[in-house]
Amino acid sequence: MKKTIKAIIFDIDGVLILGSKPIPGATKTIQLLQKNKFPFVMLTNTTLLSRENMAKKINRTLSVKVDKNDILTASSLTGDYLRQRTNNKSLILVEKSAMSEFDGIERNDDHPDFVVLGDFGNEINLDVLNKALRCLYKGAKLIAMQNDPYDLTEKGPILNVGSWTALFEKASGKSAIIIGKPSVNAFKLACAKFNINKKNIAVIGDSIEKEILPAKKLGLISILVKTGVSNFEKKTTKEADYIIDSIAELPNLIRF
């Protein structure tokens, strides 16, 4: 029986874009949703970009117009998590392009309450890693903005936050607090953007672990695309409510 979809939570990488290139059909699908005023939000595990910069990237790549308020990132969710805590002095390891998501949070590189791991790209070096490790030994808690071990690019997989998280967990003996996908909390925050029954909210992603299984746990509609990670890992699953070749087929599942 076909499920009624009234709102959509999109993954971005591997579903709408791959690296700096659009996935075929993504532009037409987003334009169709906007034309019909169909509600959607984009939920991504990226920590490299702020929501504003991510919106610019999406608009540039897909030739569409989305607002930063249509986007939730692992870094913006982590910033919200820290701001909700009284003691939130933090050593934040993330590229400068995403640092605006942590406005209002006290920085402390010597005795922080939290060591916060994002993707810090070319800024990574042994001095930075060792400083963070020493903070953990002094009592800081470990936060990982997300836990993806690798990211998929046009050139192939590259190390991501989850790999650094595993390193620090092993070296410090501490378990990290994971903020982004596949945490169901990330999807609950995304659902809160809509005034719609969750049984009518669809999650569309390319990862069984990061999108499909959390969607099932929350009673959301799950749609797996064969682009991105699912294509790379060559996985098939019966977990998803729908499996489609790409984002181009999504309009076939929606009643406008």
User: Which distant-in-sequence residues (6+ apart) come within 8 Å of 113 by Cβ?
Assistant: 85, 87, 88, 89, 90, 140, 141
Q: Which numeric CATH code is attached to 87-178?
A: 3.40.50.1000
pLDDT in tens, 85-134: 989 999 999 988 889 999 999 999 999 999 999 988 777 889 999 999 99
pLDDT of residue 97: 84
Asked if pLDDT for residue 22 goes beyond 90, the answer is yes
Q: Given a cut of 90, is residue 185 above it in pLDDT?
A: no
The pTM score is: 0.83
The whole-number average pLDDT for the span 174-194 is 91
Of 109, 107, 102, 157, the closest CA to residue 134 belongs to 109
In angstroms, rounded to a whole number, what is the distance separating the alpha carbons of residues 92 and 115? 6
Side-chain-side CA neighbours of residue 103 (13 Å): 4
Dump the DSSP string for 98-161. Answer: GGGGGTTPPB-SSS-SEEEE---GGG--HHHHHHHHHHHHTTPEEEES---SEEEETTEEEE-H
CATH number at 7-45+181-253: 3.40.50.1000
Fold match between 7-45+181-253 and 87-178? yes
Cis peptide before 251 (omega within 30 of 0): no
DSSP states of 155-194: TEEEE-HHHHHHHHHHHH--PPEE-STT-HHHHHHHHTTS
The overall average pLDDT reported for the chain is 91
Strand 71-73 and strand 17-18: the pairing is unpaired
Question: Domains of the chain: which residue ranges?
Answer: 7-45+181-253, 87-178
pLDDT tens digits, 83-93: 989 899 999 99
